Chain A
Amino acid sequence: MDELDRVMHYLAKLPGLGPRSARRAVLHMLRKREVLMRPLADALGAAAEAVRDCSVCGNLDASDPCHICRDDSRDASVICVVEDVGDVWALERAGAFKGRYHVLGGLLSALDGVGPDDLNLDGLIARSGAPEVKEVILAMDATVDGQTTAHYISDRLAGLDVSITRLARGVPVGGELDFLDDGTLTQALKARRAL
Chain B
Amino acid sequence: MEWTDEGIVLSVRPHGESAAIVTLMTEAHGRHAGLMRGGASARHKGMLQPGNTVRAVWQARLAEQLGSYSLELDESHAADLFDDPLKLSGLAAACAVADRALPEREPHPAVHAGLQALIHAMRNEELGDLWVAVYVRWELGVLAELGYGLDLTSCAATGTNDELAYVSPRTGRAVSLSAGEPYRDKMLAMPDFLIGRGDGAMADLLKGLDLTGHFLEKHLFNTQGEQSPASRTRFRDRIESSTSPDMIG
Q: Chain A interface (Cβ within 8 Å of chain B)? A: 15-16, 108, 110-111, 113, 115, 141-144, 147-148, 151-152, 154-156, 158-159, 169, 181-184, 186-187, 190
Distance between Cα atoms of A190 and B46 in the complex (Å)? 17
Distance of A100 Cα from B92 Cα, bound (Å): 31
B47 lies within 8 A of chain A by Cβ: yes
Asked if A186 and B88 make an inter-chain contact with CB atoms under 8 angstroms apart, the answer reads no
Are B82 and A110 touching (Cβ within 8 A)?
no
Pick the contact of A183 from B13, B76, B91, B248 — CB < 8 Å? B76
| Distance A28 CA – B96 CA, assembled complex (angstroms) | 47
B interface size (C-beta, 8 A)? 34
Which residues of B are found within 8 Å of A155, using beta-carbon distances? Answer: 85, 241, 248-249
Q: Is B234 an interface residue (CB 8 A)?
A: yes
Give Cα distance in the complex from A15 to B17, angstroms: 7
> A164 → chain B, closest Cβ, in Å?
12
Instruction: Point out the residues of chain A lying under 8 angstroms from B181, CB to CB.
Output: none
Contact sample, A vs B, 27 pairs, CB 8 Å cutoff: A108-B230, A110-B92, A110-B229, A110-B232, A111-B12, A111-B99, A115-B230, A141-B45, A142-B46, A143-B45, A144-B49, A144-B78, A144-B82, A144-B92, A147-B82, A148-B85, A148-B89, A155-B241, A155-B248, A156-B248, A181-B47, A182-B79, A183-B46, A183-B78, A184-B79, A186-B79, A187-B79
Most chain A beta-carbon neighbours within 10 Å: one of B47, B82, B231 = B82
- Determine the distance from Cα of A142 to Cα of B80 in the docked complex, in whole angstroms: 11
With a cutoff of 8 Å between Cβ atoms, the chain A residues found around residue B83 in the complex are 147, 190
Is there a chain A Cβ closer than 8 Å to B141's Cβ? no
B88 touches A110 (CB 8 A): no
Q: Would A144 and B88 be within 8 Å (CB), given that A181-B46, A186-B80 are in contact?
A: yes
Bound complex: CA A180 to CA B88 (Å): 22
- Cβ contact within 8 Å between B82 and A187: yes
Q: Are A182 and B231 in contact (CB-based, < 8 A)?
A: no
The reply on B50 being an interface residue by CB < 8 A is: yes
Residues of B within 8 A of A (CB): 11-13, 17, 45-47, 49-52, 73, 75-76, 78-80, 82-83, 85, 88-89, 91-92, 96, 99, 229-232, 234, 241, 248-249
**Closest A-B pairs by Cβ, 5 of them:** A183-B79, A183-B76, A151-B85, A110-B231, A182-B76
Is A110 a contact partner of B78 (Cβ separation < 8 A)?
A: no
Bound CA–CA A169/B79 (angstroms): 10
Q: Is B230 a contact partner of A142 (Cβ separation < 8 A)?
A: no
Q: In the complex, are the beta carbons of A148 and B88 less than 8 A apart? A: yes
Check if B88 sits within 8 Å of A147, measured CB to CB. yes
Cα(A113)–Cα(B73), bound, Å: 27
Given contacts A15-B17, A16-B17, contact A142 B79 (CB under 8 A): yes
Given A143-B45, A144-B51: A152 and B234 interface contact (C-beta under 8 Å): yes
Cβ–Cβ contact A144 & B91, under 8 A: yes
A190 CA to B84 CA, complexed, in Å: 13
The answer for the CA separation of A181 and B46 in the assembled complex, in Å, is 8
How many Å from the CB of B116 to the closest CB on chain A? Answer: 16
A159 to B17, CA, bound (A): 41
Write the nearest CB–CB distance from A154 to chain B, whole angstroms: 8
Cα distance, A190 to B88, chains bound together (Å): 17
By a CB distance below 8 angstroms, the chain A residues around B13 are 111
For the complex formed, measure the closest distance between the CB of A12 and the CB atoms of chain B, giving whole angstroms.
12
Question: Taking CB as reference atom, which chain B residue is nearest A147?
Answer: B82
Residue in B73, B96, B241, B249 whose CB lies within 8 Å of A110: B96
- Whole-angstrom distance between the Cβ of B193 and the nearest chain A Cβ: 26
On whether the beta carbons of A169 and B82 are closer than 8 Å, the reply is: yes
- Kindly provide the distance from the CB of A139 to the nearest chain B CB, expressed in whole angstroms: 14
- Chain B's nearest CB lies how many Å from the CB of A142? 7
Residue of A nearest to B100 (CB): A110
Q: Which A residue's beta carbon lies closest to that of B50? A: A144
Residue of B nearest to A145 (CB): B92
- Whether A151 and B76, one on each chain, are in contact in the complex, defined by CB atoms closer than 8 angstroms, is no
Q: Are B46 and A156 in contact (CB under 8 A)?
A: no
A-side contacts of B232, CB under 8 Å: 110
Report the nearest A residue to B99, measured CB to CB. Answer: A111
Contact B229 A142 (CB under 8 A): no
Chain B positions within 8 Å of A113 at CB level = 230
